[in-house]
Structure 1
Amino acid sequence: MRKIIVGAFTSLDGVMQAPGGPEEDPTGNFKFGGWVPHYFDKTLEDMVGEMFSKPFDLLLGRKTYDIFAAHWPYAPEGDAIGPLFNRINKYVATRNPNLKLDWQNSHVLRPDAVSAVKALKDGDGPDLLTQGSTDFLKTLFQYNLVDEINVAVFPLILGQGKRLFGDGAFPHGWKLVSSKASDNGVTINKYARGGEIVTGSFAFDEPTEAELERRRNLT
């Protein structure tokens, strides 16, 4: 069985949109494209290198695929990521089942993204790594298909934009596997699936009259 591993850069308020540059994804009048390069250092370089050090295939939403396909095949000579991304399989979620993809080793997830991803997970092959793909990630979290989350959280609040999580994600506990911080204040965390959510309470065994009144007034 293959794992689905999420790789994500987010702001403190969970925004993932357009980390690499102003023209990457300005949709929704997003004004802060390119918020990652200022913070990128050896620690983040090592994080990316570790994610790409083991065999993997890419699992992408259509918009992120378009961004990658317009960039990585044209990377300058000596770039390590371009040839790697050209060589591996790229599985793409799209609402257009007849879409033709020109980038080598690219495949549309058919007949629909969820059933196709489930089939990939149950089959043989390397793990499936996501990059970007905020809309597609919401579907993966909704159907409880994610096995590991690698998230770098940057010390800034963007206030608007496409976010890592949205309403409808499958409730689930996660276990922190590792954590480190860069000199620039970016925290890099790896999470593995941790089982059912465990709840508890700090309330008094016997609620006060004030507490009972508060509960009655809840809307």
Structure 2
Amino acid sequence: MRKIILTVFVSLDGVMQAPGGPQEDTTGGFEWGGWQANYGDDLLGKVMTEIMAQPFDLLLGRRTYEIFSAYWPYNTDNPIGDKFTRAKKYVVCNHPLDLPWENSTQVQGNIVAELKKLKQQDGDPLMVWGSGVLVQTLLEANLIDSINLLTYPITIGKGKRLFGNGTQPVTFKLTSSKISPSGVVVATYEPAGKLVPGSFVTGAPSEAELARREKWKAEK
């Protein structure tokens, strides 16, 4: 069975859109593309080398595929470009696509069912980069096995967010963490089951508390 591994760069307020460059993704009038660029350091370089060292195939949304296919095949002297080009690429989209990048296959139809079939296959892990819309589908269907989350010490205010409409009430287990000299928090999480709420409240609720609850119900 294959694992789906998400590697994502986010701001403190959860924006994942266009970390790499000004023209990467201007959807919605996004003006802050390239916000990641000023935070490189040796530790982050080591982290990316470790992520890229494992065998993997790519699982991408349509927009990220188009961004990657317009850049990485023309930069195969870069180890990342070479490895991305040689990897199998599964592109999720329900309308016809031109797939010029070698080793590319479209995933369409019942997307969740097709993704589950991919996971059931023998093979390398499926690595997801970017692909904000696809990520919401994966979150909603609980198909992500691991998240490499790199959180940068900035806020952006608007843009595509990692935990958007597909987010479910679940818990995660932190499996590793480190902080880079530039202040980037690098953490890896694995799903750990459904969210089970608890309470710090002890004793019976006061009359004031009961009144507050009724007041707030009415305000809804």
| TM-score higher than 0.5 | yes
Counterpart position of 1:188: 186
Give the letter for the 2:27 counterpart.
Answer: T
Task: Give secondary structure in 2 for the equivalent of 1:7.
Answer: strand
- Count residues in correspondence: 217
Residue pairs, 1:39-188, within 5 angstroms: 39-75=39-75, 77=77, 79-96=78-95, 98-188=96-186
Instruction: Report how far residue 100 of structure 1 moved.
Output: 3.0
CA distance in 1, matches of 2:16, 2:44: 16
TM-score by length of 1: 0.96
Comparing 85-94 with 199-208, greater Cα deviation is found at 199-208
Q: Which amino acid aligns with 2:121?
A: G
Q: Which amino acid aligns with 1:136?
A: L
Match of 1:14 in 2: 14
Tell me which amino acid in the other structure corresponds to 1:83: D
Match 1:207 to one of 197, 201, 205: 205
The question of whether the paired residues in 1 share the 8 Å contact of 2:23 and 2:33 is answered with yes
Deviation at 1:190, TM superposition (A): 0.2
Runs of 4 or more consecutive aligned structure 1 residues displaced over 6 Å after TM superposition? none
SS of 1:52's equivalent? helix
CA contact (8 A) 1:91 1:109 kept: yes
Contact in 1 for aligned 2:94/2:109 (Cα 8 Å):
no
Q: AA paired with 1:95?
A: N
1: CA distance, partners of 2:74 / 2:166? 37
> The residue matched to 1:150 in structure 2 has which SS?
strand
Aligned-residue CA RMSD (Å): 1.1
How far did 1:76 drift?
5.6
Deviations 1:3-62 (A, max 9, x none): 100000000010000100101111111111100010111121122111111111010000
State whether residues 143 and 169 of structure 1, in contact with CA within 8 Å, keep that contact through their aligned partners in structure 2. Answer: no
The CA deviation at 1:143 is 0.7
Opposite residue 45 of structure 1, the aligned amino acid is G
Q: Distance in 1 between matches of 2:187 and 2:23?
A: 28
Corresponding residue of 1:28 = 28
CA distance in 2, matches of 1:61, 1:76: 21
Q: For each residue in 1:146-180, what CA deviation from the matched residue of structure 2 results, as whole angstroms up to 9, or x when unmatched? A: 11111000000000000001134232111000110
Unaligned runs of 5+ in 2: none
Q: Distance in 1 between matches of 2:18 and 2:158?
A: 12
CA contact (8 A) 2:60 2:131 kept: yes
Instruction: Return the TM-score normalized by structure 2.
Output: 0.95
Question: Contact 1:7–1:150 (CA<8 Å) still a contact in 2?
Answer: yes
| Contact 1:57 1:127 (C-alpha < 8 Å) held by counterparts | yes
CA–CA distance in structure 1, aligned partners of residues 204 and 171 of structure 2: 29
Aligned partners of 1:113, 1:42: CA distance in 2, in Å? 38
The one-letter code matched in structure 2 to 1:55 is P
Question: Bigger CA drift: 22-31 or 3-12?
Answer: 22-31
Give the SS at the match of 1:28: helix
